[in-house]
Amino acid sequence: MSTLAIDYDDVVAAHRRLEGIAHWTPALRSATADARTGATLHFKAEHLQRVGAFKFRGGYNAINQFDTRQKAAGVIAFSSGNHAQAIALSARLHGIRAVIVMPEDAPAIKIAATRGYGAEVVLYDRYTQDREALGRELAESQGLTLIPPFDHPHVMAGQGTVAEELFDDVGELDTLIVPLGGGGLLSGCATVARARYPNCRIIGVEPEAGNDAQRSLASGKIVSIDTPRTIADGAQTQALGTLTFPVLQAHVDEIVTVSDAELVDAMGFMAVRMKQFVEPTGCLAAAAAFSGRVAIDERRVGIILSGGNVDWIRFAELISSSQGGT
């Protein structure tokens, strides 16, 4: 028996739970992208997923496995990002209560979106209040179940369904390139790739400003860093999880980093050439392919576009400074 938090069967089971509920997002092609890299690229379009990011898969898979008592009390999550909306919508689809703890200076649009899915938003002051303590207190006093954004077996298995669909659609790949924050998406996708195509090279991509995962895999223990300054706000994690790390150690071949400038260039390419609205974090894998940080010449490559939630004015400001996808 495996000592890892998840194996391939867990992902297959998650995919069955998500059937008819999560979108089976398309795998996009671009002749221009192929010409630019000399590879055959398949872009898995998770920015077109419900709530605009793959996190819906993990959130739904976790809540779907709640027992009667957990369903009666509800779910709690801390997040100002895509996980908040994923939990809020998943709870609503199950008819259960969701409490989302967010910093009071989170973008108003994100607070409104989370409330729009029917969640109760509890705001805290990130400078004076301890989020963990507040969450624990709420969870204990009200019997709520905490679902973390990546370090949970049901979340990791749910995220792996992204790769399951991609392989079903396009078959064997030489290389799979995946955005990386806390490692939920990469651990799930790596589990699938290793089981289905043992020779597929599995690569995680994190922001250059926060290469904690690269250092963790190199040193064999989880390295923690200060919150990195990067436009990839979905990957500003300080450390891998205790469940995700061993899965990455077992299956991942390499971690590479990309700069914010490379992310902006990839966003511009996605928008102008491929007509796709992808958030900075969602472009991590594409940026690694376009910038040559990963050797992909002549190879069949899967690239995960992980999300599309970015304020459109900010999006326009960022891509107006890029080359527009040359």
Ligand X SMILES: *Cc1c(COP(=O)(O)O)cnc(C)c1O
**Shortest spacing between CB 282 and ligand X, in angstroms:** 5
Give the binding-site size for ligand X (rule: CB under 6 A).
23
The 282-311 contact track toward ligand X, x by CB under 6 A, reads: x-----------------------xx----
Contact 88, 117 (CB under 8 A): yes
* DSSP E strand boundaries for 90-244: 98-103, 120-124, 145-146, 175-179, 201-207
Q: Return the residue nearest ligand X (CB atom).
A: 307
Length, in residues, of the chain: 326
275 is catalytic: no
Radius of gyration in angstroms for the set of CA atoms belonging to the chain, rounded to a whole number: 19
Write down the least CB distance from residue 258 to ligand X, Å. Answer: 13
Please choose, from the candidates 87, 147, 80, 149, the residue with its C-alpha nearest in 3D space to the C-alpha of residue 110. 80
Does residue 186 interact with ligand X by CB under 6 A? Answer: yes
SS3 287: helix
- Reply yes or no on whether 55 is catalytic: yes
Among 59, 153, 160, 184, binds ligand X (CB under 6 A): 184
Residue 180 in the binding site for ligand X (CB under 6 A): yes
- The question of whether 206 is a catalytic residue gets the answer yes
Q: How far is the CB of 40 from ligand X (least distance, A)?
A: 23
Among candidate residues 234, 266, 248, the one with its CA nearest the CA of residue 55: 234
Q: What are phi and psi of 221, to 5 degrees?
A: -145, 155
> Of 46, 212, 265, 279, which is the active-site residue?
212
By CB under 6 A, tell whether 55 contacts ligand X: yes
Q: Is 212 designated active site?
A: yes
Does position 325 interact with ligand X (CB under 6 A)? The reply is: no
Is 226:212 a contact under the CB 8 Å cutoff?
Answer: no
CB 54 within 8 A of CB 159: yes
Q: Which residues bind ligand X (CB under 6 A)?
A: 53, 55, 81-82, 149-150, 159, 179-186, 234-235, 237, 279, 281-282, 306-307
Q: Which residues are catalytic?
A: 55, 80, 206, 210, 212, 306
